[in-house]
Structure 1
């Protein structure tokens, strides 16, 4: 699992730089679309909780570098799908770090400065439910791009001047 997550992170990081040379309104969309496509392995155009859980399990394993079944903030912040490079290009690395800290803090439900598998599962589930605007148990690509917590946090922190709901 770790190699799959690492490969995904490297793939997304590799596409981040050229993707953001486009006009501002599409900022961050390409990374978010690639993340969605990674979760929607069958290319259906939507993801369900099973897809998200499979992705989450791989993500957790990829973040847990020392295999102690806990993810520290250092491990969490080292795992990036491409938004870190975008933040650098936009001159907003501090905003990216702040957004990462906020997401980690929300997901660290007992505030002990480590994420367990259960905490991440609960948090991803809550983020999924919040993003499911039409409450059909599925996330369309647009629901994911515009409403999934970590995507919103990263895009808004790096480019707070863009209204992503319109794109």
Structure 2
């Protein structure tokens, strides 16, 4: 079997907005989303909360197949040393090809480059593929909010994960 090319990770550009918004809608699932399914009219992908410089994208060939959003967990100055993964999506046809791993590794590296000492995230308890991905990238469970969300009639835990940026795998 021929070896598949590694995804190319780059900073998002404003002109990626439409493609990212479409990817986000197509990837929506209660496996990872606590918000209702997107409905028209669709909002732009970039906003005051997440500008292009807060987003890294993955490309396979000339196709955008994933993204990761980095932000601050709070607006507090005392928390500025921490970055948070605030969104991750991989196109269905690109799952299992190392795209998620490459994006999380790039987010860790970018957070470190920006001077962060820690990186955190929140993941739904039933999202075992994402939890395994994050654990493989050095994240550990730091807290659980039991039954924090009611999704499709099922109570789901909110799992808080984090890691120091001083050590651990990033790719």
* TM-score greater than 0.5 by the shorter chain: no
Higher percent of residues as strand: 2
Q: Which has the larger radius of gyration?
A: 2
TM-score (norm 2): 0.26
TM-score (norm 1): 0.27
Higher percent of residues as helix: 1
